């Protein structure tokens, strides 16, 4: 499976001390978007200081107006509050969804924890209806764990 092949590449990116944190996060976004056909927008959101909102970090895909997301709003904002993974097979069925593009059909958001605190998340949009599986979820948990290690150093 593609996920197993990508894990060592994610680990290699994380270990690139000569690059900034944001460069490494962007490289992870680029890697996932390039190699997983149904990952059409890949990005990171992080807690914005002491505010109860998320701020957009590195991403690849269509530009978004959603650079700040209040906690509780949209899928990302809900994950910031719930601290749980959120897989949305059909975004049109979600009442509390922030549309980034009319082409987006599904979304998956996985939180990133550092020292037990939810400090951000990886957010992936897909233009394919219901593409995300448990394998995606487990792989993205791995990615978030790697990012957590990077951010806690």
Check residue 1 and give its pLDDT: 66
* pLDDT, tens digit (0-9, with 9 covering 90-100), for 53-105: 999 999 999 999 999 999 999 999 999 999 999 999 998 888 777 766 788 99
Reported residue count of the chain is 153
* pLDDT, tens digit (0-9, with 9 covering 90-100), for 102-150: 889 999 999 999 999 999 999 999 999 999 999 999 999 999 999 999 9
Residue listed under structure tokens 């390039």: 34
Task: Judge whether residue 153 has pLDDT over 90.
Answer: no
**CA 33 – CA 123 distance, rounded (Å):** 12
- End-to-end C-alpha distance for the chain, whole angstroms: 30
Nearest to 69 by CA among 98, 109, 102: 98
User: CATH code for 2-151?
Assistant: 3.30.450.40
Coil/strand/helix, residue 123: strand
Check residue 93 and give its pLDDT: 86
φ, ψ of residue 151 in degrees (nearest 5):
-75, -20
Strand partners, 95: none
Strand partners, 122: 44, 110
* pLDDT, tens digit (0-9, with 9 covering 90-100), for 7-48: 999 999 999 999 999 999 999 999 999 999 999 999 999 999
Strand (E) or helix (H) holding 41: strand 41-47
Q: Are residues 97 and 74 in contact, defined by beta-carbon separation less than 8 angstroms?
A: yes
What angle is formed at CA 92 by the lines to CA 94 and CA 62, rounded to 5 degrees?
105
Query: Tell me, what DSSP letter sits at residue 77?
Result: H
């Amino acid at each position: 499976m593609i996920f197993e092949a990508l894990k060592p590449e994610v680990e290699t990116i994380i270990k690139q001390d000569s690059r900034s944190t944001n460069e490494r996060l962007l490289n992870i976004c680029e890697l996932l978007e390039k190699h997983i056909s149904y990952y059409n927008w890949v990005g990171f959101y992080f807690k914005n200081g002491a505010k109860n909102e998320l701020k957009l970090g590195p991403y690849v895909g269509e530009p978004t107006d959603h650079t700040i997301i209040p906690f509780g709003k949209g899928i990302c904002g809900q994950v910031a509050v719930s601290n749980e993974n959120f897989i949305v097979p059909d975004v049109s069925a979600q009442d509390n969804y922030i549309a980034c593009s009319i082409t987006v059909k599904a979304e998956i958001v996985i939180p990133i924890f550092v020292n037990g605190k939810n400090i951000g998340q990886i957010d992936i949009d897909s233009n394919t209806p219901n593409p995300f599986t448990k394998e995606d979820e487990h792989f993205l948990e791995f990615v978030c764990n790697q990012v957590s290690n990077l951010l806690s150093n």
